[in-house]
Structure 1
Amino acid sequence: MNLPFAHGGPVAQAQLKACPQDFQVVECMHVTPEGEGEHLWLEIEKTSWNTEDVAMWLAKSARVHRLSVGYSGLKDKHAVTRQWFSLHLPGKADPNFDWPEGVRLVQAVRHRRKLNRGTHRANRFVIRATEFQGDTVALESRLAAVAAQGIPNYFGEQRFGRGAGNLVRGREWLTGGEAPRKKALRSIWLSAVRSDLFNQVLAERVRRGVWNRVLEGDILQPEGSRGLFSADDDAESAARVIRAEVHPTAPMPGVAGMASSGPCWQLEQQILAPSQAVIDGLCREGVDEIRRATRLPVQDLQWSWLQEREGEHCLELAFKLPAGAFATTLMAELVTTPESSA
């Protein structure tokens, strides 16, 4: 699905992830380990490793079950990323790890609880776009617009698997096709399907210019909160959305939850109606509908120009995004890449 841009589309070309060091991510935790307890929390810097592969290595090295290893979120493989893991070690001393290439321990601290998914609230990124070709003035103007207005909160293509395979197989399964053979695939396929449906609704809001504006009947979400409320219940909702205090939302379908109404509901139904059989399948699987903000604020956005070899420019960006947001959606508003062109 070709997703519409909010700011007019890319204004330059560049290469992303030419090497892992071009894409750096640091997890921002809001929990501080207490220094004692049955769980050993490990802050680890990994290069060219999947999060799950690190978790499996930790379990094997510490001689514990994989379920005794926790982490908050998945991080890119083709990158340098820093994130936390936990090991449940009741009555056991800290293991002596022989760290493999590409994995480095930053710190180890005991805590009383396991690290669960979704514990961290944000990620800090440093991204370098190399082999930059384009108008630097236009690019900086686009960056200023992004900093001021945010971007559509699309799910990135990595959510859908290679060649969107998880999305395709998930839709086939939910409409009567073959079910996933592994339990882990079930959640991956369900997530891909729901994320795609959300993207479809958000894309229509972008086309209509209301991804960052209130529609009558909207369900809104305060910035930095997971709570929801009806726009119709707040006379100041339109002004609050403009000030980015609250954000419009769109559904990730499933068993009916807090529903929009009026023009907002009509827009959502218009887009989702062709996928009703898929949504019925989600309901049969017992997936609850949730809502996700349509606008993604880009916090602390800074940029600089680095000189590459032979006089080429390199754009370096530093910014912070809430957990669950995709840095690739930001880059798509700025530059095209060889991969996206293909």
Structure 2
Amino acid sequence: MQRWPHAHGGPLGAGHFRQSPEDFQVTELMDFVPEGHGEHQWLWVEKRGLTTDDLCRHLANLCEVAPRDIGIAGLKDKQAVTQQWVSVWLPGREAPASLIDALAELGVRVLASVRHPRKLKRGVHRGNRFALKVSGEAIAHPDFITRWETLIREGVPNYFGPQRFGHQGHNLGRARAVLVRGWRKRDDRSGMLLSTARSFLFNEVLAARIKSRCWATALTGEVFSLNGTGSRFVTDGSESAETLTARLASGDIHPTGPLWGTGRLETHSQVAELEQALPKCWPQLCIGLEQAGVKTERRPLRLIPSQSRLEWDVTPVQASDAGSDASVWLYFDLPRGSFATGLLRELIAHPLL
């Protein structure tokens, strides 16, 4: 897969992460809780060694319902210990008495079970909380703590992670083939290949702005995203350059890039000129997405982790002495749709980053 540029000088050395599922922990964050009544059984589960799609398929079989009756807010990693909500439509009946034990045999613990009137919908979660164990020569680097503090303060590129593109980027080749011959629902029922193509084009725009050193600055015609919300606004001259710079520095707003599709890009001047280069460079992807009928959207170019902290298993001085045997835990929250790999690749060099 293509290597997109780093924003903070590149990794500090080789590193390791996710050496066991317990070293990569993810907890889904929601802004509401189930109401305690209704036709849908919501389960708060902890899984390991299992994809979310696998979990949904097993749950549908165990509860004897159609796959469409299972609801999730988002996909969680397979090689990790993850906690998330999943819902099952069970009108007028209870879940099977053997469900908890059957799930346990699959590596899934049911931590809570609550009724709710509505199915769990994709994207309703606020974000995810991460606890990652990292080791290797990078964490012994004398600038490791400084780099971590810089990432937390200034943010990292909001790249779509390598998992979006499949093993060795094969999903992108599949997406290109489908779009060239004309996208059809039966060829891509989940929309994964459309998402792959849009993610690649977004990463290309972000990479170009990093190379030009303007990925976290305001260009003319910029479309900003308000931090922590889906709200956007276009610069129209009502705010001074000094005000925009201050808001960018504080993390209140972020520049955005396109998720390609039909409809206008909302941009003009410098931003429009930069983004309109995509159809020239990648015409098959852009035209194919437009013909597929997906709507143009925007995504923040920058990601600033919150609730962040770092805990050593030894002191930083000892880490330097211990070398590759030392490890550190990184804790942080990310908004939905963001990838922890975006932060890790600014710290460590690893084949999966």
Same fold by TM-score, threshold 0.5 exceeded? yes
Which has the higher mean CA deviation after the structures are superposed, 72-81 or 264-273?
264-273
Q: For residues 73 and 315 of structure 1, what CA distance do their matches in structure 2 show?
A: 27
The two structures have a TM-score, normalised by structure 2, of 0.91
| Alpha-carbon contact 1:71-1:85 (below 8 Å) kept | yes
Q: Summarize the Cα distance change of 1:300–1:178 in structure 2 as closer, same or farther, 3 Å threshold.
A: closer
- Unaligned ranges ≥5, structure 1: none
How many angstroms does 1:337 deviate by? 1.9
Which has the higher mean CA deviation after the structures are superposed, 105-114 or 277-286?
277-286
Are residues 1:168 and 2:169 paired? no
Are residues 1:254 and 2:261 paired? yes
Which has the higher mean CA deviation after the structures are superposed, 135-144 or 82-91?
135-144
Q: For residues 303 and 211 of structure 1, what CA distance do their matches in structure 2 show?
A: 26
Q: Summarize the Cα distance change of 1:286–1:177 in structure 2 as closer, same or farther, 3 Å threshold.
A: closer
Q: For residues 211 and 73 of structure 2, what CA distance do their matches in structure 1 show?
A: 34
Deviations 1:70-89 (A, max 9, x none): 00000000000000000111
Give the corresponding residue for 2:307.
300
Identify the match of residue 324 of structure 1 among 333, 337, 349. Answer: 337
Deviations 1:151-175 (A, max 9, x none): 0100000001112111111112212
SS at match of 2:143: helix
Give the corresponding residue for 2:91.
90
Q: For residues 133 and 32 of structure 1, what CA distance do their matches in structure 2 show?
A: 40
Q: For residues 139 and 327 of structure 2, what CA distance do their matches in structure 1 show?
A: 11
Identify the match of residue 278 of structure 1 among 273, 279, 285. Answer: 285
Give the corresponding residue for 1:146.
151
Q: For residues 176 and 101 of structure 1, what CA distance do their matches in structure 2 show?
A: 40
Q: Summarize the Cα distance change of 1:178–1:243 in structure 2 as closer, same or farther, 3 Å threshold.
A: closer
SS at match of 2:189: helix
Identify the match of residue 119 of structure 2 among 114, 118, 121. Answer: 114
Q: For residues 134 and 118 of structure 1, what CA distance do their matches in structure 2 show?
A: 34
Q: For residues 245 and 339 of structure 1, what CA distance do their matches in structure 2 show?
A: 31
The residue correspondences of 1:90-239 to structure 2 (distance < 5 A) are 90-96=91-97, 97=99, 98=101, 99=103, 100-133=105-138, 135-176=140-181, 181-184=186-189, 187-235=191-239, 236-239=243-246
Q: For residues 64 and 144 of structure 2, what CA distance do their matches in structure 1 show?
A: 51
The residue type equivalent to 1:242 in the other structure is A
Q: For residues 310 and 13 of structure 2, what CA distance do their matches in structure 1 show?
A: 15
Q: For residues 146 and 163 of structure 1, what CA distance do their matches in structure 2 show?
A: 27
Q: For residues 234 and 148 of structure 1, what CA distance do their matches in structure 2 show?
A: 27
Q: Summarize the Cα distance change of 1:161–1:334 in structure 2 as closer, same or farther, 3 Å threshold.
A: same
How many angstroms does 1:18 deviate by? 0.8
Identify the match of residue 314 of structure 1 among 320, 323, 327. Answer: 327
SS at match of 1:86: strand
SS at match of 2:32: coil
Q: For residues 346 and 260 of structure 2, what CA distance do their matches in structure 1 show?
A: 26
| Alpha-carbon contact 1:253-1:290 (below 8 Å) kept | yes
The two structures have a TM-score, normalised by structure 1, of 0.94
Which has the higher mean CA deviation after the structures are superposed, 89-98 or 144-153?
89-98
Are residues 1:25 and 2:10 paired? no
- Unaligned ranges ≥5, structure 2: none
**How many residues in Structure 1 have an aligned counterpart in Structure 2?**
339
Q: For residues 57 and 225 of structure 1, what CA distance do their matches in structure 2 show?
A: 34
The residue type equivalent to 1:247 in the other structure is H
Give the corresponding residue for 1:38.
39
SS at match of 1:175: helix
Q: For residues 174 and 44 of structure 1, what CA distance do their matches in structure 2 show?
A: 37
Q: For residues 134 and 327 of structure 1, what CA distance do their matches in structure 2 show?
A: 17
The residue type equivalent to 1:85 in the other structure is V
The residue type equivalent to 1:333 in the other structure is E
SS at match of 1:335: coil
Q: For residues 36 and 148 of structure 1, what CA distance do their matches in structure 2 show?
A: 42
| Alpha-carbon contact 2:39-2:89 (below 8 Å) kept | yes
Q: For residues 288 and 179 of structure 1, what CA distance do their matches in structure 2 show?
A: 16
| Alpha-carbon contact 1:152-1:202 (below 8 Å) kept | yes
Q: For residues 252 and 89 of structure 2, what CA distance do their matches in structure 1 show?
A: 39
Q: Summarize the Cα distance change of 1:22–1:339 in structure 2 as closer, same or farther, 3 Å threshold.
A: same
How many angstroms does 1:101 deviate by? 3.6
| Alpha-carbon contact 2:279-2:287 (below 8 Å) kept | no
Q: For residues 159 and 325 of structure 1, what CA distance do their matches in structure 2 show?
A: 11
Give the corresponding residue for 1:244.
251
How many angstroms does 1:177 deviate by? 7.0
Q: Summarize the Cα distance change of 1:193–1:142 in structure 2 as closer, same or farther, 3 Å threshold.
A: same
How many angstroms does 1:131 deviate by? 3.6
Counting aligned pairs with the same residue, the percent is 37
